[in-house]
A and B are shown apart, each in its own frame.
Chain A
Amino acid sequence: MEKKREVDTDELLRLLFMESSLDNFMTRDNSDILFPSFPDYINSLSDKRGEPPAKIISRANLDKSYGHQIFRGIRHPSRDTVLQLAFGFELDFATTQTLLKIARHTLLHPRVKRDMVIIFCLQHHYSIVETQIALDEYDLPLLGGKGNDRQ
C-alpha cells in the first residue's frame, strides 16, 4: 500500500494561502495528502495550549461526555460542534478553517450570513455565549441548535 504524505498544520495553511481562491484549494487534487485525523489534531491543539480537553470542552459549552468522546475519536462531530470547539480553543479564522477542513466539513463562507457573524465573532475573540447572543440578535440559528446538521 502506498504511503501517504502527512501534512502538518503549517504546511496546510501555506497550501491554503498559496491557492488563489478557496475553490481551487477545495477542488485541487488532495489525494496524496493525508491530513492528521481529527482527534489527533485537536489533541495536539490542546497540548499546544497547555490545557486539558476538559477545559476546552467547557469553554466550548459542549456536553462533557460528548466532548470527551470527540477527543477520543469515538464520535465524529457535526459542523456546528466543530465551530463550538473553535471557540473552545479560541481559534482565529484561519485555524478554524483548517479545523473544519480536517473534520471534512464545509468551510466558513462569507456569502452565508450566519458564517459571517461567526467569522466576525472569532476575529473579535467573542466567547461562545457572546456569539450565541449575536446570532440571536440577527435571528440566525444558534450553534448546536436542533436540525442544523446534515444526516
Chain B
Amino acid sequence: MIGNKSEMDKIIEGTFSEYGYPEDFLAEYDQLECLSGRSGRETFLCKKKGSEELVVAKCFSGAFYDNAVEEPVVREYDVPGIPHFIKSYRNDSYVCVIREYIPGKPLSEVVKERDLTQDEILEICGKLGDILIRLHSQEPQIVHRDIKPENVILKEDGSVFLIDLDIARTVKPEGDSDTYFFGTKGYAPPEQYGFSQTDERADIYSFGVLLRFLITGSIRENKNIKIYRPIEKIITRCTAFSPEKRYPNMKAVKRDLSAINPRSIMLRKIGIGAAVLCVCAAISFGSIRLYQYLTYSPFGEGSVPGYVSDDEMVRQAVAYMEDTYGTDLFQDPDDFATVGFLRTILVELYGFDPDYVWGMNDDMPRESEEFFLPWGFEDSRFLDRDIAVYAAVKLHDPAIVADWSELRDDNGYYPGVRVAEAFAKKNGIMEGVNKPRDITKGETALILYNAELTFSGKDQG
C-alpha cells in the first residue's frame, strides 16, 4: 500500500537524526506538538509512551546550556507554582528538561474571553507574587525575567502557575550579545536591554506591567484610563525606569497589594448594597408591570398596545448589528428567536468559546462560570426577554450577574437573570422590547444593541 516507504525513511529518519535530540528522550516520549520552535530551544508537548501522561519538554542546544537553569531550580527546590520537574536527558548537543504539563489557560487567553474583575486580578497577582517571592528567595537567587500573560497559567480550580523559566538568570558573560536577547518587548525592564546585571527588580518591573495590562488592557501607561489609586501607585512604583526607585523586593510589593484588599471588599459591599436597593426599587416600581406580565395574554383586550415592540428601534438595532459585525444572522428580524440562535450569536459575533456557550448542566438555577447559560436549555426553546437580557449583560460584565448572593428575596428562580433584568431596566437595555416571552430575532438585536450602548457609555439614539 505504501510505495514510498524508503523515500519516507530517508526523509524522516534522516532529517530527524540530524536534529540530535537525546535518544533516550525519544525512546520514552512521543512528541505531539511543537509549542514553541525558536531554533536551539524548542518546547514540545509530549506523551509518555504507553501512557496518557502529558508533559512539556524543553530542548536546549549546546549554546543555551548555561541558561537551562530550570532543572536545578525545580529539582532541588521544587518551588510550588512552578511545574514539577520530572527528568532531564542529555547528550553532546542537547539537554531536554521534562516538566509536568499544566492544563489550563494562559492569562493572555483568559482576558480575550472575558474581563477579569478587579478582585480577580488582585487575587491572581497575589498568587503570582507568592510564587515570585519563593523564586527570589532561593540560593542562589532565581530571577524569571520573562513574566508576561502568556507565561502565567490559570487552572480551572483557580490556582496559578508560572511557566517558561528558560531565560532565568546566569547568562554566559562571554556569549555574544545578540544571542542573548532575552525577555519580551514591553514587559522587559530597560536594564534588560543593556548589559547591566539584572536582579529581582527586573521581575518587579514586569510584574507591574502585567498588573497594568490586566487592569487597563494595555501594557503602556494611559492617562485617560482611571485606575483605582492604590493600585496605580503600586504599578507606578513597580515600573519606575530606574531600578533604585522600584520596590526593593517582591515581599514589599505583596504587602502593598494585600493592603488593598480590605478596602476593595468594603467598597464592593457598598456596591452590593446599592444594587440591592436598586433591585428593591425596581421591584416596587415595576409592580404594575409585574401584574401585566403575569396576566399577559395576546388575546386580552388592551394588552396588545403595551407589548408591541418599537419597530423603528428594532430596525435601527438590526442595521447596527449587521453593519458592525457584518452578519446576516438578523436578516429575518420577525422570526422568533430561539436559545440556539442566541448561542450562535454569542459564538459568531462575540467570539465566545462554543464549549462555554453550549455547555450546560441541569443543576438549576445557579449561575456558573463554567457555562455561559448554565441551565439545561434546549436550542429549540423560544427565547424569553429575560434570558436575552441576562446574556447581553453577562457578555459585557459577568460580575453583575454573578453577584446575586445578596438578593434579599432569593427564591431560587434564576437569581442572575433577575439581577440582570433589574440592571437592564435601570439602564435602558430593555427599552423598545415590550413583550416578555417569545421575542423575535430583531428584538434580540435591540437588546444587544442597547447593552452595547450602555456599556460603552454612549448616549442612546
Chain A interface (Cβ within 8 Å of chain B)?
1, 3, 6, 22-23, 37, 73-76, 79, 105-107, 109-117, 120, 124, 126, 130, 133-134, 137-138, 140-141, 146-148, 150-151
Contacts and interface: CB of A to CB of B under 8 A. Distances in A.
Interface of B: 1-2, 4-5, 8, 11-12, 15-16, 19, 26, 30-35, 37-38, 42, 44-45, 47, 51-52, 54, 101, 103, 324-326, 344, 347-348, 353-355, 358, 452, 456
A150 B106 CA distance: 13
A73 B357 CA distance: 11
B237 to A, nearest CB: 29
B103 A150 contact: yes
A122 B104 CA distance: 31
15 contacts: A3-B324, A73-B344, A73-B347, A74-B358, A76-B353, A79-B33, A113-B30, A113-B31, A114-B31, A116-B15, A116-B16, A117-B12, A148-B32, A150-B33, A150-B101
B344 A106 contact: no
Contacts of B12: 113, 116-117, 120, 138
Given A111-B19, A114-B30, A114-B31, A75 B354 contact: yes
A73 B38 CA distance: 33
Contact of B45 (A130, A133, A138, A150): A150
Contacts of B51: 147
Contacts of A138: 12
B276 to A, nearest CB: 31
User: A-side binding surface: helix, strand, loop or mixed?
Assistant: loop
Contacts of A141: 30, 32, 47
Contacts of A147: 47, 51-52, 54
A133 B2 contact: yes
Given A75-B354, A120-B8, A111 B47 contact: no
Nearest to A140: B30
A120 B355 CA distance: 33
Given A6-B326, A79-B33, A116-B11, 15 more contacts: A3-B325, A23-B38, A76-B353, A76-B355, A110-B15, A111-B31, A113-B31, A115-B31, A116-B16, A120-B12, A134-B8, A137-B5, A147-B54, A148-B47, A150-B101
Contacts of A112: 31-34, 44
B193 to A, nearest CB: 18
A147 B54 CA distance: 8
B384 to A, nearest CB: 22
B360 to A, nearest CB: 12
B32 A111 contact: no
A74 B357 CA distance: 9
Contact of B2 (A109, A116, A130, A146): A130
Nearest to A109: B34
A37 B103 CA distance: 24
A151 B353 CA distance: 14
B2 A113 contact: no
B32 A1 contact: no
A125 to B, nearest CB: 11
B124 to A, nearest CB: 19
